[in-house]
Amino acid sequence: MGHLSFVHPEFLLLIILVLLAAAWYIYSFRSRNPVMIFPLTEKLKQFSTGWKRNFIHVPFVLNALAAVLLIIVLARPQSSNRWKDTSAEGIDIMLTMDISGSMLAEDFKPNRLEAGKRIAAEFIAGRKNDRIGLVVFSAESFTQCPVTTDHVSLVNLLNAVKSGMIQDGTALGDGLATAVGRLKESTGKSKVIILLTDGVNNTGSVDPVTAGELARTFHIRVYTIGIGTMGNAPYPVQTPYGVQYQNIPVEIDEPVLRNIADLTGGKYFRATDNEKLRAIYHEIDQLEKTKVEVREYARKEEEYTLFAAGAFLLLVISIGVRLLIIRTIP
């Protein structure tokens, strides 16, 4: 039985009449029989002379209880059960990450690539209803993981990404085109690419703006992120004397990244440290909210049967006590 409610709760006020009748019954009986206030020893004496007399009040008590149950029946008790059916319409997201050698610069902690991977993993953890995939690029590009709801496998593949997996370079257009190719056949109503890079397109067969126009053709929004501090960044260099650092200029093709974002209805961001990059992913998370539909159902059932059966049983017992016990009292 779920939550109990009454169709006509005003009938419950009739219980007051039953209580008044009970009070009047007790008052009248005590007025006629002052023995009711005798000590316990006197009551025990009366019981020993006639146990049947103890049943005199039983019919009234049973009738009063039956009256209360019948009043509840008149009030029409109903139980209601409620439940919710939740369905989510996820978004198809392709993370597209630059893994060129410059991503090892340590203006981010521990470096740009590792910071990007960790914050991307946090982003994935918060998108439980979305299909997410991963494209990586350097001098060429490839799909590290197609769009999937298996986020555990996706994060494992993300963690396996290393700089140097493919020839060094920045084929920005190829990376974006590969991501578009993975999403163009998607049946999702909303398709998004998050493009992360720290450089300028310097190789590859596809122009970045052309890839952006291709994304627009397939109604794919592209959020572009330029990652790198302002000015110079420390870059580790292996020497015979161990790792040494040299400052390299940070060169990000912001006009192209901004143009791609504008073409596709996305947005360009510039991340200069870990916290700014985390804030960018949080903003994208807020911009691309998953559509969740919640339907609430309720079912009501009449519950008067149990109360009516209880009242009937009490009345039968009351009649039985009256006929079989009380009528035989001398």
Outline where the chain has alpha helix (H).
15-32, 40-49, 58-74, 112-125, 151-159, 172-183, 208-217, 254-264, 274-287, 304-324
* Average pLDDT rounded to a whole number, residues 133-161: 96
For residues 49 and 167, membership in a common domain is answered with no
For residues 209 and 136, membership in a common domain is answered with yes
- Would 294 be classed as within a structural domain? no
Please say if the pLDDT value at position 50 is more than 70. no
For residue 54, the model assigns a pLDDT of: 65
For residues 269 and 166, membership in a common domain is answered with yes
For residue 37, the model assigns a pLDDT of: 46
For residue 318, the model assigns a pLDDT of: 86
- Would 196 be classed as within a structural domain? yes
For residues 27 and 158, membership in a common domain is answered with no
Residue 101: pLDDT band (50, 70, 90) is: very high
* Average pLDDT rounded to a whole number, residues 54-65: 84
For residues 164 and 281, membership in a common domain is answered with yes
Percentage of the chain modeled with pLDDT above 70:
87
Which position has the token pair 């009047």? 24
Please say if the pLDDT value at position 176 is more than 70. yes
| Per-residue pLDDT reduced to its tens digit, 245-261 | 999 999 999 999 999 99
For residues 186 and 257, membership in a common domain is answered with yes
Question: Rounded to whole angstroms, what are the CA distances from 135 to 13, 80, 107, 168, 182?
Answer: 71, 51, 23, 16, 9
Residue 174 belongs to domain with CATH number: 3.40.50.410
Please say if the pLDDT value at position 98 is more than 80. yes
For residue 99, the model assigns a pLDDT of: 97
Higher pLDDT, 147 or 188: 147
Least confident of 122-131, 166-175, 229-238, 320-329: 320-329
For residue 80, the model assigns a pLDDT of: 77
Summary mean pLDDT of the chain? 88
- Would 10 be classed as within a structural domain? yes
For residue 60, the model assigns a pLDDT of: 87
- Would 158 be classed as within a structural domain? yes
Overall number of domains in the chain: 2
**What is the β-pairing status of strands 220-227 and 191-197?**
parallel
Query: Are 201 and 113 within 8 A, CB to CB?
Result: no
Q: Residue 321 in 3-state DSSP?
A: helix
- Would 96 be classed as within a structural domain? yes
Higher pLDDT, 80 or 38: 80
For residues 24 and 111, membership in a common domain is answered with no
For residues 53 and 124, membership in a common domain is answered with no
Distance CA 148, CA 129 (A): 10
* Average pLDDT rounded to a whole number, residues 301-309: 87
For residues 118 and 260, membership in a common domain is answered with yes
* Average pLDDT rounded to a whole number, residues 115-133: 95
| Count of positions (residues) in the chain | 330
**What is the β-pairing status of strands 131-137 and 141-148?**
antiparallel
For residues 276 and 161, membership in a common domain is answered with yes
For residues 161 and 284, membership in a common domain is answered with yes
For residue 86, the model assigns a pLDDT of: 60
The pTM of the full predicted model, rounded to 2 decimals, is 0.66
| Per-residue pLDDT reduced to its tens digit, 194-210 | 999 999 999 999 999 99
- Would 15 be classed as within a structural domain? yes
Please say if the pLDDT value at position 105 is more than 90. yes
- Would 55 be classed as within a structural domain? yes
For residue 52, the model assigns a pLDDT of: 59
For residues 285 and 303, membership in a common domain is answered with no
Q: Which domain holds residue 55?
A: 3-82+299-328
Residue 323: pLDDT band (50, 70, 90) is: confident
For residue 46, the model assigns a pLDDT of: 52
